[in-house]
Chain A
Amino acid sequence: MAKTEYRAIGTRSIRPDGYGKVTGRDQYGPDVVLPGMLYARVLRSPVPHAVIRSIDVSKAAALEGVKAIVTGDDFPKIESTEKIDSGEESIEARFMTALAMAQEKVYYEGQPVAAVAAVSLSVAQEAIDLIEVEYEELPVVDNVLDAMKDDAPLIHGDLYTESLEGRGDKPTNIAGHVQHVRGDVDAGFAESDIVLERSFKTKMVHQGYIEPTNSTAYWAPDGKVTVWCSTQGPWDIRGQVATILQIPVGKIKVVPQEIGGGFGGKFTAYLDPVAALLSKKSGRPVKAVMNRTEVFKATGPSSGSYIELKIGAMQDGTIVAAQAFLAFEAGAFPGSPVGGASVTGLSPYAIPNLKIDGYDVVTNQPRSKAYRAPGGTQAAFAVETLLDELAEKLDMDPVDLRLKNAVEPGDRMVNGVPYPSIGFKEVLEAVKAHEHYRAPLEGRHVGRGVAAGFWMNGSGTSTVHLTFNPDGTVNLIEGSPDIGGSRASMALIAAEELGLEPEEIRPTVTDTDSVGHNDGTGGSRVTYATGTAVYRACQNAISELKKRAAKLMDVDEGDVEFVKGRFSSKQGSGESLDIREVIRRLRETGGPFEAQGVTAGLKMAPAFGVSLCDVAVDPETGKVDILRWTQFQDVGKAIHPSYAEGQLQGGAAQGIGWGLNEEYIYQEGRMLNASFLDYRMPTFLDLPMIETVMIEVPASDGPYGVRGVGEVSIVPPPAALANAIYRAVGVRMQELPMSPERVWRKINESSAQNGVVPQAG
């Protein structure tokens, strides 16, 4: 039976990497410097869709200090349609190279068309300005609805709709169709006392990680390639570089650097193959770092979307039918998060009749990538605002409406997968019981909103090694890049199991040559899956250490038990040994050993969260100010409460940005706001203290009942904000972001219709 009282788990230990972080001494990707290193710059397409007629690099090549130039012709041409893992999503091999370097065509503004390595960054920049490219421009499609029209220009001539029914029979921009059906949705709507139907739009948004995308590579004369980069998935980068450059993975080593944020966006080999080929040509290490404009235009944001949603319910609040149509912008190549959106939006509710159709649609935009609970935020914006409207129409408390329909363990997600242990109802009960939910609202044009969110959470494969030092301390070798404080959590798990102090565990995130396979840091999987691997490695270590302790105590191995960091004889001889002593004397008992822990195939440990917020809206400007925010979440078991709370706060902050301000603004496929000045992310001046409430409903699998906490907190904020805005000024926002201009226009549309300015709710 799982322990319920812990000595290390649940404490707020100092993070092992804290010193390097707060002093700035840690090495992030752009900090890498190698002897003889060259600097790369990438020439990017200024047009969003075109055939490349010619590229003339002669002037650049003649510039003093230029050591190597690559274009698409230097990369192998790949025809394979095999799906290659790219972290939290996958991409067909034939499209993968295009994210690193265009070949023959450009599909989005900012796509790389050439790259230069030179002795300095300024020379490299001067060189790419000398490269002449002739484009034959093609018609542009930069939003999902236009791309789905029958007469839309085709972005690829050989793209057919994939679905479980098979492959479509004509080229299209609709790359994929996913469907989930349960019961009889038409009969469900016919039976309903009330039916609501609305449509919703969201815009493309970026993860907004602070550290720009980067890579340094060295192609040694013996053919071995080493890549230093900050990435969420070193093994994913290795696999992508191998595919793009057509070299065996065994010749590639990826060395992960400290990472300044990823949120799903740092799994992709945008620069790594380019730096590697430039290194091969020049014979020297090459570093490439994007600027912010390049990050916006040429990495992977989350999709814009169009969603139609219809919900039918009985007068008592029982939801009997739901139907959804979701269309997501994949960007230039298939792979939007519409799969995740199709599953997550309605899965929190036990609805007997439903039909969901999701469409993955290519557009002339950067290829979308995962962003924290990919697809979940867009879907929840639609579902949770419509539920709020339903609660209002039924004169029900919005949390009561959700409680009445909330799923329980054993219910099924919309795709048929049964829920293991979940804590949705517990989270909703915690919201109802919280002082914030009942606190009076004061002032004009203020409102309170609530919305829920769901994310499946991942598990995947993790490998961990433990080695032991002669001073009794333990090295914890892992391959999961630490983005949110996971070294601290891993150390706590090891300390708990081995009976050591967290400071006696030394976690190290190592390279792809030095530990077994690890899936990337994404899908809220690290604390759950890598933590389970740590737990298993500790059990294996204890098993071996028992043998060593038996030798030292001169008793049979079977007589040794391990309790709270001490080995003792079950026979009651009274002798016992501290684990540190046994570790110190390994040389006497057979020499060093290494303990390994592997995780592959845990059950899902889904997460539910709720955002509760108070806002004030200025009807004259449409500006929304957040007065108070509380984020609730079932965390299973908070291994390190500070970092679990940090995940709740960080997700909420990003969800607030998504809800109120952030968007890619396009004009004919050209992004107009590719800088942090014009792409408005929230700063600390925009946010109140985000309070957190962690509910601990143990997960079904893994140790301590832990479940991932990293993603679901971004799912409900935009919907909670929309619901709060409605209660503040009486307008239902159905398009993101709810920027001052959009809110102001909506208020004025409502005023024009009703003849009055909406009053505070």
Chain B
Amino acid sequence: MAQDQRKQRTKRSGSPSGLTAAVETINEQSLKVFLWMEGRRRNSMATVVVPSMMRDLTDGAEFVTVEGSTLKEVVDDLDRRCPGMKDRLIGEDGKLQPHIAFFVDGVEVKGRHGLLASVSESAEIVIVPALSGGSGRALRL
């Protein structure tokens, strides 16, 4: 099922609208490079490390591979692959839940960039349970 969803997403994520017009004036080689990079960006696969208390949504898996170039896209794709994730990660106000932190390639992003944080190709995103005490904004573990 996850594979099917990924194909659908890949299919949906073809050339962005307006892209063709924008590149008509550049040469063919540049176009190929641009499309290759855009394709890599859009088809990047990140790995999410899932904490134990959320593995009931992943059939026990600790690692889940997802697509997305921002944390929001990653969460959306994670929810597609593992339904129910979004409800656990995002509050009713649309913000990240207060008792959760994200580390993207070793850098904590919660509270600073939040859902708009960039996720690089092949990034590793660790979801960390974060009780508030003794580990606030500067250090939320």
Q: Which residues of chain A have a CB within 8 Å of any CB of chain B?
A: 82-83, 85-91, 162-166, 176, 178-181, 264, 303, 328, 330, 334-343, 355, 358, 360, 368, 370, 374-375, 413, 415-418, 420, 456-461, 519-520, 522-523, 525, 600-604, 700
Contacts and interface: CB of A to CB of B under 8 A. Distances in A.
B103 A417 contact: yes
B131 A416 contact: no
Contact of A87 (B53, B56, B124, B136): B136
Interface in B90-141: 98-100, 103, 106-109, 111-113, 124, 126-141
Contacts of B127: 164, 416
B15 interface: no
B81 to A, nearest CB: 17
Contact of B49 (A88, A343, A416, A600): A416
B134 A89 contact: yes
A189 to B, nearest CB: 17
B52 interface: yes
A368 B133 contact: yes
B88 interface: yes
A525 B99 contact: no
Given A163-B99, A523-B138, A603-B106, A418 B124 contact: yes
Given A162-B99, A164-B100, A461-B112, A338 B131 contact: yes
Interface of B: 49, 51-56, 62, 88, 98-100, 103, 106-109, 111-113, 124, 126-141
Nearest to A336: B133
Contacts of B106: 417-418, 420, 603-604, 700
Given A179-B51, A415-B141, A337 B124 contact: no
B135 to A, nearest CB: 5
A108 B31 CA distance: 68
Nearest to B89: A164
A608 to B, nearest CB: 16
A459 B55 CA distance: 29
A179 B112 CA distance: 24
A339 B53 contact: no
**Does more than half of chain A's interface fall in helix, strand or loop, or is it mixed?**
loop
B61 to A, nearest CB: 13
B128 A416 contact: yes
Contacts of A162: 99
A180 B56 contact: no
A85 B136 contact: yes
B141 A179 contact: no
A418 B128 CA distance: 12
A336 B135 CA distance: 9
Nearest to B48: A416
Contacts of A340: 133-135, 139, 141
Contacts, number: 160
A328 B98 CA distance: 19
Contact of A180 (B51, B103, B134): B51
Contacts of B132: 83, 89-91, 176, 334-335, 339
A89 B100 CA distance: 13
A337 B98 CA distance: 15
Contact of A83 (B49, B98, B124): B98
A523 B138 CA distance: 6
Given A181-B52, A415-B51, A520 B138 contact: yes
Contacts of B129: 163-164, 178-180, 339, 415
**Does more than half of chain B's interface fall in helix, strand or loop, or is it mixed?**
loop
Nearest to A180: B52
7 contacts: A88-B134, A165-B53, A181-B55, A337-B134, A413-B141, A415-B141, A601-B109
B39 to A, nearest CB: 27
Nearest to A175: B131
Contacts of A166: 88
B138 A165 contact: no
A164 B141 contact: no
Nearest to A371: B134
B112 to A, nearest CB: 6
Contacts of A178: 129-131
Nearest to A347: B141
Nearest to A340: B134
A130 B56 CA distance: 59
A88 B139 CA distance: 7
B51 A370 contact: no
A303 B132 CA distance: 13
B56 A165 contact: yes
B133 A337 contact: yes
Contacts of A459: 108, 138
B135 A339 contact: yes
A90 B141 contact: no
Given A340-B141, A601-B112, A416 B126 contact: yes
Contacts of A604: 106-108
Contacts of B126: 415-418
A602 B107 contact: yes
Contacts of B55: 181
* Most B C-beta atoms less than 10 A away, residue of A336, A339, A368, A523: A339
A594 to B, nearest CB: 24
Given A163-B99, A415-B128, A417-B128, A328 B107 contact: no
B52 to A, nearest CB: 3
Contacts of A368: 133
B96 to A, nearest CB: 11
Pairs of residues from A and B, 8 with the lowest C-beta to C-beta distance, nearest first: A337-B134, A374-B134, A181-B52, A458-B139, A339-B131, A458-B138, A164-B53, A523-B138
Nearest to A331: B133
A181 B137 CA distance: 24
Nearest to B50: A416
* Most A C-beta atoms less than 10 A away, residue of B62, B130, B139: B139
A700 B136 CA distance: 22
A596 B88 CA distance: 39
A612 B91 CA distance: 46
A374 B53 CA distance: 23
Contacts of B52: 179-181, 355
A457 B103 contact: no
* Most A C-beta atoms less than 10 A away, residue of B98, B130, B131: B131
Nearest to A367: B133
A601 B105 CA distance: 11
A335 B98 CA distance: 12
Contacts of A602: 107
A519 B138 contact: yes
A691 to B, nearest CB: 29
Given A330-B133, A336-B133, A164 B138 contact: no
A183 to B, nearest CB: 10
Contacts of A461: 112
A148 B39 CA distance: 53
A339 B138 CA distance: 14
A457 B139 contact: yes
B49 A90 contact: no
A94 to B, nearest CB: 13
